[in-house]
Amino acid sequence: MGDDERILPVFAACGFVGTKSSSAHSVIPYKQLPPRTDIWFDIIRLLVKHDASVHETIFGQTLTTLTLAVQAFNSTSQTLLPFLQLLLDQCYIDFSIANEYGSSALFTAMRSGDVTIPALEFLAHCGVKLDEALPDGRTALHLAAELASTVSPLAHLCQKYGMGNIDRRDQWGWTALHYAVGSYSNREDNLPCGKVRFLLEKGADPHLRGNGLRTRPLHVSNWVGEPVSPLEYSKYLGPDVYNRFVADMRAAGHAVADEEDGEQDEFHDAVESIV
């Protein structure tokens, strides 16, 4: 089906409103707010029961390229698997498609808390290649490092799908370790998410600099003004992130240079002076 200027009810249920919006960094062509309750799925299920189609596209978006999980991660824990099953029952075939910002069924699965691994296996059953790189060079490991709330999806991908090149770079020169450092769960959660330490223990290089900068709109890496290693990136994100990274390096058996210890002390001094 082709694009349609009408906002179909199934898309409206997912928060797609179709109006343009902009930020300091970019223009987002058509606005979509992730659903914040489970009612969206009940609406879609009712619409499908009355013969609504799940196969349409609007402005290049499919139902699985919409952002269905908010940053709190667990927002789709009760709805994602039933939603994917409903789509499969309706002979949906676009599980592998991603939009220009990288949103896809795989993206949503990574942000779905305790159902992430079952959702990944469901998508693999539907033909999504978890061991292949996306067009921008990211792999499922990059996505899990950035979007998953715990280390479990990374461990699952490494164990079941190989993911042998732990330092594989995407088109921006970023590795999974870069993404883990800047991930919401590593920066914001009260307890360590374990992703950084896991990758370091798997042999990820904390000193490997990217070839370029991330340019995704509103991404935290836009704060960085030059290519950085995961260790250098952690410094941009503040003393808490940096100190945890150095601790994870030590725990994983990586040597920590004296100057890094000195910079860690400077961070402590700066925090104490502010207090």
pLDDT tens-digit profile of 61-96? 899 999 888 765 556 778 999 999 999 999 999 999
In a domain, 275, yes or no: yes
* pLDDT class of 38 with cuts at 50, 70, 90: confident
Asked if residue 272 has pLDDT above 90, the reply is: no
pLDDT tens-digit profile of 179-237? 999 998 888 766 678 999 999 999 999 999 987 666 565 566 667 778 899 999 999 88
Report pTM.
0.83
In a domain, 133, yes or no: yes
In a domain, 109, yes or no: no
In a domain, 54, yes or no: no
- HEC sequence for 41-67: HHHHHHHHHCCCCCCCCECCECCCCCC
Percent of the chain exceeding pLDDT 90 equals: 51
Domain residue limits at 160: 129-275
In a domain, 38, yes or no: no
In a domain, 39, yes or no: no
In a domain, 243, yes or no: yes
Please give the structure tokens belonging to residue 46: 């009712």
The contacts of residue 15 (CB under 8 Å, 6+ apart) are: 32, 33, 34, 35, 40, 66, 67
Question: How far apart are alpha carbons 243 and 235 in whole angstroms?
Answer: 9
Output phi, psi for 246, to 5 deg: -65, -40
Q: How many domains does the chain have?
A: 1
Q: What CATH number is given to the structural domain containing 270? A: 1.25.40.20
Whether 55 and 87 have beta carbons less than 8 Å apart is answered as no
